[in-house]
Amino acid sequence: MTSSTITPCMSNGERMRRTVRSLLPRQAYHPLAKMLDASFCLSKLGFAEFCRLYALSQSGPHIAGKIAKLTIPTLLHPIYIRPGSTDLDEVIQSTVRQAYGHCLPSSPVRIIIDAGANMGDTTAWYLSKFPEARVIALEPDPENFRLLELNCRPYGDRATLLCAALWGETGRLSLKHTGKCDGVSVHEWDGNNDCQGISMPDLLQSQGLSQVDILKIDIEDGERALFSATQDGWIEHVRTIAIEIHSPPSLEAVKTVTRRHNFSHRLYRNLHFFCR
């Protein structure tokens, strides 16, 4: 029996965090969590940049075309975000708290796929963390993709950017906005808001990949379509999967495939890591 069939492995710190969360009422836990996040960011960024991030977090609704430049110690180059959007929260989690660094494969790490790259925070973090790696980043939303291009430009040809969505099959999909400027999902094509979907086998072939060291997935419940596809042999080419899962059926689909291919399962906050 593999660890995907039982409770996923957690670090002592994560186990303690979940215990505290279960014991404290919601109105007590969330202020405490925000205070701890603030103290962590202050220690990592320094007072001046922390104050600037705090000011940005108090911004009103995002205004189209308005962006702000941030300097984050874990990134080789500055990163641009849209004040008033969820970009700042994403940057804090991916580049300051380095959430995706809690389960990494052994060296060397040369090929990374970032599916659901959004504005490029995780792509920039991976490119900075692994200076010899190439990242193939997929983002289907044109507005997010423009910011992804801007944020990845300093990394040159180490970043391959595709305005497309990772899906179970290659073909036309429809893009759906969730109401936030950066919130999008894709679903089966309904004749509106076309975007391109690409399957993992076709992505591997088109990019000439025989091994993927890290497959990061944040595709707003598209993981169910990806892992329910009839062809799942592509997973044998992947060493580590880092995935944000958005529904119980999606979690079951992911666990079914990873269990069949002998991946272990670890959990950190809302991220699931499958490794072998």
> What are the per-10-residue average pLDDT scores of the chain (276 residues)?
49 57 63 74 81 77 80 94 88 93 96 97 98 97 95 98 96 80 76 90 97 96 88 93 94 94 92 95
pLDDT for 136: 98
Total of domains in the chain: 1
Integer Cα distance of 89 and 196 in angstroms: 27
d(CA 102, CA 95): 12
Chain centroid to CA 153: 19
How far apart CA 246 and CA 219 sit, in angstroms, is 9
Q: Are the C-beta atoms of 115 and 138 separated by less than 8 Å?
A: yes
CATH number at residue 106: 3.40.50.150
pTM, two decimal places: 0.86
Q: Return the H-helix or E-strand segment holding 176.
A: strand 171-177
Beta carbons within 10 angstroms of residue 79's beta carbon: 26
Supply the range of the domain harboring residue 129. 3-275
Cα separation, 22 vs 26, in Å, equals 9
Other CB atoms within a 10 A radius of the CB of residue 256 amount to 13
Please state whether the peptide bond connecting residue 25 to the residue before it is cis, i.e. omega within 30 degrees of 0. Answer: no
